[in-house]
Structure 1
Amino acid sequence: MAQRSPPSGLPRRRRLLVENIGALREAFRGVRHRYPFTIDAIVILPDHLHCVWTLPPGDADFSTRWRLIKAAFARGIAAGERLSERRQRTGERGIWQRRFWEHAIRDAADLSRHVDYIHHNPVKHGHADRVVDGPYSSFHRYIERGVYPPDWAAGSAVRGVSFE
């Protein structure tokens, strides 16, 4: 596998997600138990993640879920983390921003574009040479289901989609 490791020059806080993948998984698992949602697509990079969720009918409360995931992850890694005075004052922990980007999927084509963007992210950010080499990605689940071939390479499929 041609997976690249996070550049060693990255500050430790910029590698928190992959260095604490177990705590992140446990945070998601715990919140999903209390506040159900389906993870339709996800990719976890050293310093950020992207995902598409489906919430139960009549439920649009992404904010509570994200708040709880962030808090659970922060508790899971709190022992070794140093917080700046500003982060202590604002309650920010680790790599988390106070806000998140939310987009309501409009149709099947919109969903497909966002899933493609998510799966292509490890290549976009230089963490993998090929999409299949991204270790923390739902791409592997999509291969098993026959949605993508293992050598899928996104190309123009992700144009016009940006979370940044």
Structure 2
Amino acid sequence: MEHEAGRGGTRDRDSEGRARNARPRDGLGRPLPYGAPGVERQPEGVPRSPRETVEEAQSLLDAGKPFHAHEVFEDAWKSGPEAEKGLWRGLAQLAVGLTHAARGNATGGARLLRRGAAAAEEWAAAAGLPRPHDVDVASLAAWARELASAVEAGGGRPVNAAARAPRLRGR
């Protein structure tokens, strides 16, 4: 990773010249100063089966790392079958919603939790698959809406991401 001078700062570039952010991040994806110890980031563009995607994301959610789970869902959204993009995008939005809620951003967290719940439900209904890849969409949407309401009522107090992690398979 190289650093190149940009508009008043540096930009991280990969070996092919694409912009990348190499700053270390904490468990909720917040950038830390260069050189600070951070949480290992999820590699981008990793092809996973749907089962592997759900298992990896659940493991990250359980560890209180919803930002990193979002990256796993984003890989599935960007590299998976066109017909499933709506599902993975909705799940990524749920993970980002939990990320914002854990950071204390009540407005953004609640908005993304509700948006992700609606997107996943709409996709599942249109596809006629209430449990795509064994993901319990109805239970997940109910979790998201309940958490969105709790986050709003909490007045911006951060939630514990690990304690509030959803069960993707409803178990």
TM-score (norm 1): 0.30
TM-score (norm 2): 0.29
User: Could you say which structure has the higher helix fraction?
Assistant: 2
